Structure 1
């Protein structure tokens, strides 16, 4: 069989990167080109002599390769978000009293997990905007974005080694693993309902949210409690669960009712994604004989007209936005009562104040889409 022929540049490029450090690659490239094509294979084979000595240690990992791997992550992380979790940790720390060094580690770890989960969410939802910018996978592609998100999950586990838990606290790795399992369980059910056009009940929806959104809130609070100087710390997890549910229901509400949210993520993006959010679940369950909203979700519309129709249906027919505000008000009252029971905390109260929603005008009107909606087929 004839020996395949390659140029010296191609031949050197085919050598394994990790086993072929940059200095060796350059040296081999120079020597190969000097001796000519006939001696190129000899030069490459020389690299494999006494090869066992080259693979006795762990593979090297250059900084340039690291930057390439995490680039989708750093792209999203560079765009400021709402920072609710970071503010919540600062607020809870007025109670829990975590040393500054440990709190910084917890914040970094939770931020990494949150950003990585957003990368995955955007891929799974086929989103277009995140924080007013193109989503990472529209720039870096789906495979690299998924790999980057998964890689950051494991980088976060490395950060766990820096936390110094109180004596008697169970392994913090087990805490994080448990909550990441919960997060993926919640996300899995959310995706299942969407992909199979199955509208959950409100209790099923709340269970999903407590798993999915509550997971990161619980990771933050549980790690803080593990490193607390308060002995023994009170149980702040129920309040964290309640705030997580409030946060998600509020997010569902503003997705369909806020012009600012529409600017950052797109007009009524949940409808375009076919998502069963809280107001949508209420609207569908309010009149199961009317399948218009289900059909709109199935179509996953991108144009404003069907989305505006759905918003007005939920606003005028099923009163789902008013109902959502009522539920949020009830949950907010219970959260404030729990804050008081735990001894009071003005910083947590401030965050709760920021989560209060107000009745808004239809975002299509605020964004100037109403004319486009009404005149989308003006020629008909």
Structure 2
């Protein structure tokens, strides 16, 4: 079996091929640029790791890993357009450099290329892999729509936000694991436990992300804290705060929306701490992480084979940036 670092290096080597033709340059150059920015590549690694739980990595897992990484990048290109984000991973976004129309087309052809890789896999499981891929792609779009709709609402409930995060973030992690396990020959029971492992890990990961934005160390986090607060963004912490704050605090929070960014962040964080929101978020993250680890333990393979997946999960949840 490979270590996580070894798999990461292997994937980087294999994925560094040119996935697109040279012409028309105006269409394909933006995608080559965006892929060159890199990223964590977590989703393709989960495909490979899930396959390797049950046997040697099959060539088809590399194709599915390629497809998932391209599909993920397609969603990022389009998300950046919708958010009008100027920067992604410290670099200019595709629409910022090449214009929105080109970015839309580039994202579209990125997804088409993903399907081309997917359709090269063995016919014996092509249909089920396609079904999971299509269902997951649909759910990601649903999650994005919920996220946009929540921006216009002031009454978003915690369970609604949880559903949105599951669709927008967690299902892709879960599907990556399930597809890899199918190619590896896993039983349906093992496939389901891996899916639930990914689903709960994804939720814990998002809670950690929300927590770090408010309570992370700026030097380790790599950016100033309070970015979500400045944008009045709905997060696990913001929604819970509305549930536990008293009427005076709620009134102040409403007034803070028009305050200077520095005051808004400082006072909101103080009100959060006063209501124990920081500890609540930490405990909630641990709850979902524990659920994820339960499902990992339930997978019927020897513990030694789960070592790298456990290491990756712990790394994602204990990270400080």
User: TM-score, normalization: structure 1?
Assistant: 0.68
Which of 38, 50, 64 is the equivalent residue of 2:23?
Answer: 64
Contact 1:279 1:320 (C-alpha < 8 Å) held by counterparts:
yes
Secondary structure at the counterpart of residue 233 of structure 2: coil
Which of 164, 182, 193 is the equivalent residue of 1:226?
Answer: 182
Contact 1:187 1:208 (C-alpha < 8 Å) held by counterparts:
yes
Query: Offset of 1:62 from its aligned partner?
Result: 6.8
Alpha-carbon distance in structure 2 between the residues aligned to 1:159 and 1:83: 17
Secondary structure at the counterpart of residue 356 of structure 1: helix
Match of 1:370 in 2: none
Question: What runs of 5+ residues in structure 1 fail to find an aligned partner?
Answer: 1-60, 364-380
Alpha-carbon distance in structure 1 between the residues aligned to 2:286 and 2:222: 26
Alpha-carbon distance in structure 2 between the residues aligned to 1:348 and 1:317: 37
* Residues 1:133 and 1:165: Cα distance change in structure 2 (over 3 Å): same
Which of 240, 248, 265 is the equivalent residue of 2:198?
Answer: 240
Alignment of 1:351 onto 2:316? no
Alpha-carbon distance in structure 2 between the residues aligned to 1:126 and 1:313: 30
Map residues 1-380 of structure 1 onto 2, 5 A cutoff.
Answer: 63-65=22-24, 67-97=25-55, 99-164=57-122, 166=124, 170-194=127-151, 196-230=152-186, 234=190, 235=192, 236-258=194-216, 259=218, 263=222, 267-287=225-245, 289=247, 290-293=250-253, 303-314=261-272, 316-343=273-300, 344=303, 345-357=306-318
* Residues 1:253 and 1:107: Cα distance change in structure 2 (over 3 Å): same
* Residues 1:145 and 1:318: Cα distance change in structure 2 (over 3 Å): farther
Alpha-carbon distance in structure 2 between the residues aligned to 1:98 and 1:286: 50
Contact 1:89 1:221 (C-alpha < 8 Å) held by counterparts:
yes
Alpha-carbon distance in structure 2 between the residues aligned to 1:354 and 1:102: 27
Query: Offset of 1:112 from its aligned partner?
Result: 0.8
Contact 2:48 2:180 (C-alpha < 8 Å) held by counterparts:
no
* Residues 1:96 and 1:206: Cα distance change in structure 2 (over 3 Å): farther
* Residues 1:222 and 1:341: Cα distance change in structure 2 (over 3 Å): closer
Query: Offset of 1:302 from its aligned partner?
Result: 8.7
* Residues 1:63 and 1:268: Cα distance change in structure 2 (over 3 Å): same
Aligned pair count reads 293
Compare the two structures and name the one with the higher helix fraction. 2
Alpha-carbon distance in structure 1 between the residues aligned to 2:103 and 2:276: 39
Query: Offset of 1:262 from its aligned partner?
Result: 5.8
Alpha-carbon distance in structure 2 between the residues aligned to 1:327 and 1:255: 16
* Residues 1:156 and 1:178: Cα distance change in structure 2 (over 3 Å): same
* Residues 1:348 and 1:201: Cα distance change in structure 2 (over 3 Å): same
Alpha-carbon distance in structure 1 between the residues aligned to 2:261 and 2:87: 15
Match of 2:15 in 1: none
Contact 2:58 2:184 (C-alpha < 8 Å) held by counterparts:
no
Alpha-carbon distance in structure 1 between the residues aligned to 2:315 and 2:110: 30
Contact 2:47 2:179 (C-alpha < 8 Å) held by counterparts:
no
What is the root-mean-square deviation in Å for CA atoms of aligned residues?
2.9
Contact 2:174 2:195 (C-alpha < 8 Å) held by counterparts:
yes
Question: What runs of 5+ residues in structure 2 fail to find an aligned partner?
Answer: 1-19
Which protein has the larger Cα radius of gyration, Structure 1 or Structure 2?
A: 1
* Residues 1:165 and 1:273: Cα distance change in structure 2 (over 3 Å): farther
